Structure 1
């Protein structure tokens, strides 16, 4: 962190909201956890922020997210990363879901911000809530309710949630009943990260950084069958230190060029390195760069992979990478794009820059035509795996590959 950024983050600890360094992991309402913390704060859910329509004054949102690792002292991060004016939130509550828009009895509790029930998030910034006492289970639906009393201008959120959430009148955020939450939304609004204090003193998290294959397109809506979801369930019984999983996929995202969200190489700080307890990043990007017919070369993509690995290592984070899967059968496929994909994958399989390589191409490709996806894994569009293919990707990730000695550089417990 630069000297200027460090000064800003110290100021943020006092003011609770700071524009220049809004994406630090939580300890005291927006500052990194200190070395004396009794257990690490670990991300248990995340979704990459992007521009998401226009904000609506007085609207209530009841957002359903799914935890990976369990723990205590829940914190939620609220984002105004793409807003052009301050965003005020009030009536913010969190609790475990019963069914639909309803919460478990007695479980919908208010979140505070430096003890206050209302918070204003500056344009371009994010704010963590205070810790909420009590435990949060792994593999559970958490409901975050909020109201935007004066929202206007560009909203921030995650468009393709593959999860049904709810909207309604803002005065009902404290309700446990779902009676007033009659409209649905397929996006997550204003929430981009949830963290808990893990029970294991050495627990950490992996961030899956990717595109629509990571975001979950073609997997079952409301079923949590994206490959990072399957991976989270595997890690919960694997006996490894890496337990949390943060899904930072954006549909249409590219490694190098902005478009559908900021490119992976441009959103690394906000979406990855700001996450609490992140120990490893598993990068699965590149196919949209190839599909764009932009003339991208293997050398350019390789340079991008190398830069991400370098920046992750400089931050003391393990860097894992997955090979680019096949997409023959898509209108965008052609022999020249396939030649670049093969050259990139050959580099990735032998790259010494990464701490681990997972061969997703080897998992997905057909033995009869290696340029094409295995039919039993094809979600129907020759690019996105179905639920069976999503599980196969998760099963291909060796749990032990998600940890490495670099965690000591970030001050994480050994």
Structure 2
């Protein structure tokens, strides 16, 4: 596995090296002031090739660097990153940012590490609640690259923004070592991503992306760390070899996330714009949430959840995109399971399958459940806790997605 990534990395380094950095003006978005964006607006030809939902982290530390390893989906040119201060309570400055290709661990393929700029400048200050887009980095990035984004902040303080459960080893350091390709100063492994919440590329014309909106199952808990075996990863691999126009995949799952209430991150309804609809090139939203609302025993009814699903579908359609609904998977055996919650799950799944509110449906419940006890996950798919699928279950989920459903024609707003 590592050898295959290394070969892909060497190819990526060669292709990513061509060209010089171009400066672009800074612009702010007034459409959603709570999600203000610094930098040139996304090119309409760009698509998201990697994404991770932003969340509130512990307090930041000044003069700290992060070497963030992310696995891209779609190929393309003119790479751009998005840095998020969505949960900060003060501005944060990034005085250095680089993008390269992973060789092994924190070491980069020699010659691949290139400086990123923001409106032509080497540094950018991101206000509280805002995000910043880098300038395009000329050159082509192959599909399924292990991209490494290195950032440093001299003044970070207050709540940091990031993604807790990366299921991917990244690295931290003291001081600014972002330009270095050696791993010598990157000796602290970390299991979270900090500040980076999206990577976009410019793909061949007509290419689109899908965003998976979900909870810890989508986030990849119980899949194998560092091997990209979350179900959206398996889906991305299928899409690369399929004859469809959708190639980009962004994983916007958060462990513990709910549709209706905050808890593990902001609710799906609150974060829909920032984490999903703001991503470039999105053609379809894949909605797979609800089990945390059900098992929390807060009195949420099937009708409450159905109202939440309807709101998501309406907002996605109003944005001119399609939405695929996935049924809630079985979780009997998990400590919070009871018959009352199971009744809600069954009612919700009936709505997802039969209501016609979604442009397509993927029946994860049907794929994962045991034929001998349909309220329980099939043991071969169970990651061990009876709620989260393991690697085999993740692959079965991805294999169940009708790839054509991700390439559907979006309805006109108001239809």
TM-score normalized with structure 1 length: 0.91
* 1:391-410 aligned within 5 A: 391-406=395-410
2:144 alignment counterpart:
139
User: What is the alpha-carbon distance in structure 1 between the residues aligned to residue 76 and residue 26 of structure 2?
Assistant: 27
1:59–1:310 CA distance, 2 compared to 1 (3 A): same
2:212 matches 1:208: yes
Q: How far apart in 2 are the matches of 1:375 and 1:311?
A: 37
1:329 maps to 2:333: yes
- Provide the secondary structure at the position in 1 that maps to 2:269: coil
Could you tell me which residue of structure 1 aligns to residue 169 of structure 2?
164
CA-based RMSD: 1.6
Q: Write out aligned runs for 1:10-409 (5 A).
A: 15-16=26-27, 21=33, 23=35, 29-33=39-43, 40-198=45-203, 200-406=204-410
Shift of 1:140: 1.2
What is the distance in 2 between the residues matched to 1:21 and 1:136?
Answer: 32
- Is the Cα–Cα contact under 8 Å of residues 49 and 75 in structure 2 kept in the other structure? yes
Note if contact 2:26-2:119 (Cα within 8 Å) is conserved in structure 1.
no
**CA distance 1:255–1:22, shift in 2 (3 Å):** closer
Aligned-partner SS, 2:125: strand
- Per the TM alignment, residue 169 of structure 1 is displaced from its structure 2 partner at its CA by 2.4
**8 Å Cα contact 2:106-2:171 kept in structure 1:** yes
In 2, distance between residues paired with 1:52 and 1:260? 12
Unaligned runs of 5+ in 1: 1-12, 35-39, 410-414
Of stretches 400-409 and 131-140 in structure 1, the one that deviates more from structure 2 is 400-409
Q: Is the 8 A contact 1:17 1:121 kept in 2?
A: no
SS in 2 for 1:207: strand
Q: Secondary structure at the match of 1:218?
A: coil
Asked if the contact 2:118/2:134 (under 8 Å) is kept, the reply is yes
Shift of 1:361: 0.3
State the partner residue of 2:8: none
For 1:408 and 1:181, how far apart are their aligned partners in 2? 49
Structure 2, unpaired ranges of 5+: 1-23
Residue 331 of structure 2: SS of its match in structure 1?
coil
Query: Separation in 2 of the partners of 1:77 and 1:331?
Result: 38
Stretch moving more, 164-173 or 74-83: 164-173
Q: Distance in 2 between matches of 1:47 and 1:401?
A: 23
Query: CA, structure 1 residues 407+130, in 2 after alignment: closer, same or farther (shift >3 Å)?
Result: farther
Measured at CA, do residues 32 and 134 of structure 1 come closer, stay the same or move farther in structure 2, by a change above 3 Å? closer
8 Å contact from structure 2 (residues 256, 292) kept in 1: yes
Q: 1:246 to 1:407 in 2, by over 3 A?
A: farther
Asked if the contact 1:146/1:170 (under 8 Å) is kept, the reply is no
Deviations 1:335-383 (A, max 9, x none): 0000000000011101211100000000110000000000000000000
Partner in structure 1 of residue 17 of structure 2: none
Give me the whole-angstrom Cα distance separating, in 1, the residues matched to 2:411 and 2:194.
Answer: 32
Please report how far the alpha carbon of residue 322 of structure 1 lies from its aligned counterpart in structure 2 after TM superposition. 0.3
Matched length: 389
User: Counterparts of 1:387 and 1:219 in 2: how far apart (Å)?
Assistant: 5
- CA distance in structure 2 between the partners assigned to 1:273 and 1:17 by the alignment: 17
